[in-house]
Amino acid sequence: MESSEETSKNGKEGLKSHNRRRWRKDKGKASRILQSMDLRTMTQSLVTLAEDNMAFFSSQGPGETARRLSKVFAGVREQALGLEPALGSLLGVAHLFDLDPETPANGYRSLVHTARCCLAHLLHKSRYVASNRRSIFFRTSHNLAELEAYLAALTQLRALAYYAQRLLATNQPGGLFFEGDEGLTADFLREYVTLHKGCFYGRCLGFQFTPSIRPFLQTISIGLVSFGEHYKRNESGLGVTASSLFTSGRFAIDPELRGAEFERITQNLDVHFWKAFWNITEIEVLSSLANMASATVRVSRLISLPPEAFEMPLTSDPKLTVTISPPLAHTGPGPVLIRLISYDLREGQDSEELNSMVKSEGPRILELRPRPQQTSRSRSLVVHFHGGGFVAQTSKSHEPYLKSWAQELGAPIISIDYSLAPEAPFPRALEECFFAYCWAVKHCALLGSTGERICLAGDSAGGNLCFTVALRAAAYGVRVPNGIMAAYPATMLQSAASPSRLLSLMDPLLPLSVLSKCVSAYAGAEAEEHPNSDEKALGMMGLVRRDTSLLLRDLRLGASSWLNSFLEFSGQKSQKTSAPTVEEENEAPRESMRRSVSEAALAQPEGPVGTDSLKILTLKDLNLKSSSETSETPEMSLSVETLGPSTPSDVNFFLRPEDAREEAEAKEGLSAKDSSSGVSNAFPVGFHPRRTSQGATQMPLYSSPIVKNPFMSPLLAPDNMLKTLPPVHIVACALDPMLDDSVMFARRLRALGQPVTLRVVEDLPHGFLSLASLCRETRQAAELCVERIRLILTPPAAAAATAPPPL
């Protein structure tokens, strides 16, 4: 009996292994088709096969299965023929939006590539059907379900291609972000979010990514929908265990059901659900498993920085100092937690002063190993800001790859556990990260570093904080880091559409509605509840926290308005003609220069004051000004009360003149229907994309004015602020909805003459650093990030000595 059961078990495992190998083989064939065919040849081949299969199944009698197969191939033919011209027009102008010829990447290219992936899969499946349709082993139901799923995906991709054409016709020259008025932007988003998304979360899940990623995405999707069920019963999801995430077998065996539930969750559940789900990695069992696969380090300690002000010397005159105040926004002064990670125990890391600040993370484990020998202080220090959409995760979530970084770089790393939204919205996280950065610069000896080279590093939301902390350091006049490495950063937090953000329709890790809810929470607007949503009550204490947050936000905005009016009056009275990096004080010259961190988050350093009206911070108003024009530029105030209407700028600083002419000619080639302003006219007559059946999406359609603050959206920072940034190295993902954030930010820096590099990895999703140990592709992408950090930490003289000789 046992032998029979063992044989049966081995047989099932063998069948599963065979299916996995066949799936990888199928994906490999689809990949080869994608690489070997251009768009037109692929479309023509697919249309020919679709017509052949359609004719065959039409001749098989009146059966329902044959009728559906004939219908699906007719649909494939129709959608492929309609999609090919739209993709061709986008591909014809996509090169105009690249950073440079060596970096061919932007949202238009990514959208075309994704559509070609879908076409390649349908072409491979059509060939398979044509070759095996007469076989008695032909699995009719399975192939029909897969064809119908990919046909739905192709239909939605065609809709996205038309939306991309609309962006191309509406945007400012060279711009990737939608620059229409706010009402038109809301109309665009309202139309966009009604599209059906479930087809991308079922059988087609992750088809655009490397095959090694898809099993992981399937596991995550099953865990997400299972977690959604438990979340309903447990309200906050706190009672969910790791083992309960994957117990809903019906979602594992029914891709269509899983896709529909995934779509419902992404559209309707609030940011508290996503916070709870993303924090699953904090569960002790999961974090322990992740750490088992990571490098072993001598030091990994959580340190609590006391909320005490301290002085920092100014880089312009070290005899003068500026006061770095503790974080104040929303909740008042409080300690800031940082995690110190070091592969070796270095001098200072076991000092009494540092030990007095160590925060316990649980019961202490008696170590029987001999006390390690101390090594000398490293010349370098890495300051890391974790991702998580500003609402979730901690340094613990990112500890596995940070340990590897510490080993490979030979430098200590501190990762900041900043406060999270919606309980602590902007600018609390920025205040805490800036405070921790300044503390690390001042006390680097305690961290095992001499501080000769300092690098800021972060991913996603952490990349945003890298830029804004560096901008804050320059505004204060304190030491700016030697460089920044930002992985797939968010640089534009406005609700603005772009070609790459259209990919959020199908991205399982960063759907548009989830992205919007995270930004809304960070902006302090997420506390408003929607009466028709399925979100659970926050409970009494949650409501108190929410109402307190709203009150503090209103007080903050009111204080910002008063502060801006005061500064504007003072500026007009003094008739300043230059833009200082920190606000000038009215105190005696010998007194230290002081500035509140909260104040800096809500008001930009003063610029020249003119008689023109204050301008809204949008891309179309950020023109390249020569130094001779700087004194005539009106002040750009960041107070939300003074953000007034603006007019489009005639100055194009993104494209070279010849590129601008080429793009204008491409726009003229669009039909009058495509170039009209109405969103409802985006589709040609007779084409109807699939609409969602999950009801209205609960997501904000209008941005809070505060997202235009350059300390929140660094892409909107004026030129004089961006010129203060150190060398920037960006590592982005070609299939990431945030790709255009990286491309446009790099283009702005390049146009200003700032040192910047952009490397774009293919076929990987947003958040690949957290998947570094998953497969070869994610490991290579993580190594690229380490390489960028190493460039920053290497002194220029040493880098020049090790550089290869010129040819």
- Catalytic annotation, residues: 460, 736, 766
The token duo for 226 is: 């299972």
Q: How far apart are CA 312 and CA 477, in angstroms?
A: 9
Question: What is d(CA 537, CA 516) in angstroms, rounded to the nearest whole number?
Answer: 21
**What's CA 499's distance to the chain center, in Å?**
14
Residue type, 323: T
Task: Give the distance from CA 240 to its chain's centroid.
Answer: 27
Instruction: Determine the Cα–Cα distance for residues 660 and 679; give it in Å rounded to an integer.
Output: 25
Q: Which of 644, 639, 642 is nearest to 599 (CA)?
A: 639
- Going by the DSSP 8-state scheme, the letter that residue 604 receives in this structure is P
Q: How far is Cα 553 from Cα 221, in angstroms, rounded to an integer?
A: 35
Q: How far apart are CA 570 and CA 574, in angstroms?
A: 6
Give the whole-angstrom CA distance, residue 789 versus residue 736.
21
CA–CA gap between residue 430 and residue 436 (Å, rounded):
10
Order of strands, edge to edge, in the sheet holding 310-313? 310-313, 321-324, 593-594
User: Phi then psi for 414, rounded to 5 degrees?
Assistant: -115, 135
Contacts of 421 (CB under 8 A, 6+ apart): 271, 390, 391, 429, 518, 521, 522, 524, 526
Distances from the Cα of 376 to the Cα of 308, 379, 791, angstroms:
29, 9, 22
Identify whether the C-beta of residue 124 lies closer than 8 Å to the C-beta of residue 30: yes
Close Cβ partners of 713 (under 8 Å, ≥ 6 residues apart): 491, 492, 493, 494, 617, 707
Task: Extract the tokens encoding 752.
Answer: 């200003």
Q: Say if residue 792 is exposed, middle or buried (CB neighbours under 10 Å; 0-12, 13-18, 19+).
A: buried
Partner residues linked to 453 by β-bridges: 380
Residue 585 makes CB contacts below 8 A (sequence gap 6+) with 591, 593, 594
CA distances (Å), origin 314, targets 191, 227, 430, 449, 479: 51, 50, 20, 21, 7
Bridge-based pairing of strands 336-342 and 299-305 is antiparallel
State the Cα–Cα distance between residues 267 and 644, nearest whole angstrom.
32
